[in-house]
Amino acid sequence: MTELRSYAQRRLSPFMGTVQVLDVGDARALTYDGLVWQIQLRSQIAVTTPVWGGIGKGQTGRPFFRYGSWTADGELRRLPINPMLGDVSGYPALADVLAALRDNPSLPFPLCDRYECWVVDSEGLPVVLFASACDESARTVSQYPRWQASSTEDPLFHSAALEASGYAADKPHTTWFTEQLTQRVGTPLSLLWIHRGDDGSGVGIDGKHIRAAWMKRHYQAADFPSLLLTEAWQDPLTTAVVQDYLAWQSPYLLMLASLDAAQRRALEIQACRRPRQLLNVRRLFPMVLDQLLIDSTLVQARLEQINTDVPEIPIR
């Protein structure tokens, strides 16, 4: 078998948990829930990436294309073959990655994205994690980066504190919160790539719209928000909204292995208020402190699925 790499990477921006990856070079399998794996194959021919506006030269490489999906019960579903893949029979790596899946790998895998791109404030201090990379060569951000508080996958953030204040009666709460963060850090966003060490410290590398003094700057572990978003805000309302936001993200934050016991305990309680999201991702938790609480919530989530005619996700 080709050398196998198994690792996890955070899903950003916004933070939506982790993706688990089994990589054998020309084939890889990815899962966002620990149940369904997306199988991708690398093109056998070089492909030129289009350039926005059609101006200039694109990058040439061998990108990955989706081949199909595999589930924990051994079911393999193939998609129509993309012509860019060429002859699929010429992919020995496909058999390798399927063999790795059949070995039932233990999840979650360790995070390997030690290169972190942070939105920093005027002092160069991390405010929110924007992007990450596992390798130096993978460090990239879009030409016009914009931080988002939610995604189409889980869009409905609602803050009780913000509703009670009446300040966002005419706009989505994600929009209000994004505006507050933008006011704090300014525009365009200052994005600083930092390489993190085993002890949690970091060293600045480069970025967009940053000061030269921040490059090679040494950061202590305490400089980085443990929940990937700073909890230190000047006004009480934004502080309360941030706490509501982190509670909303709790099912995803529980995928982080770096949480201390107090943080994990609090997040487990908060995550039980979002049973459907908890059910979708709980296979990727590195540990659970209150198993009874989590299990009872998963039963509730299954009942909700049955009552709304949503295909059931089995509890294992």
Query: Helix %, strand %, coil % for the chain, to 5?
Result: 35, 25, 45
Residues ≥6 apart with Cβ < 8 Å to 73: none
Which pLDDT band holds residue 306 (cuts at 50, 70, 90)?
confident
Which pLDDT band holds residue 45 (cuts at 50, 70, 90)?
low
Which pLDDT band holds residue 155 (cuts at 50, 70, 90)?
confident
The per-residue pLDDT of the chain, averaged, comes to 89
* 291/3: higher pLDDT: 291
Residues ≥6 apart with Cβ < 8 Å to 222: none
Q: Hey, what are 104's tokens?
A: 């039932």
pLDDT for res 180? 96
Domain spans in the chain, listed from the N-terminal domain onward: 5-102, 115-231, 249-307
Which pLDDT band holds residue 72 (cuts at 50, 70, 90)?
confident
pTM for the model stands at: 0.88
Neighbour tally for 311: CB within 10 Å: 5
pLDDT (mean) for 128-135: 97
Nearest to 62 by CA among 26, 29, 88, 28: 26
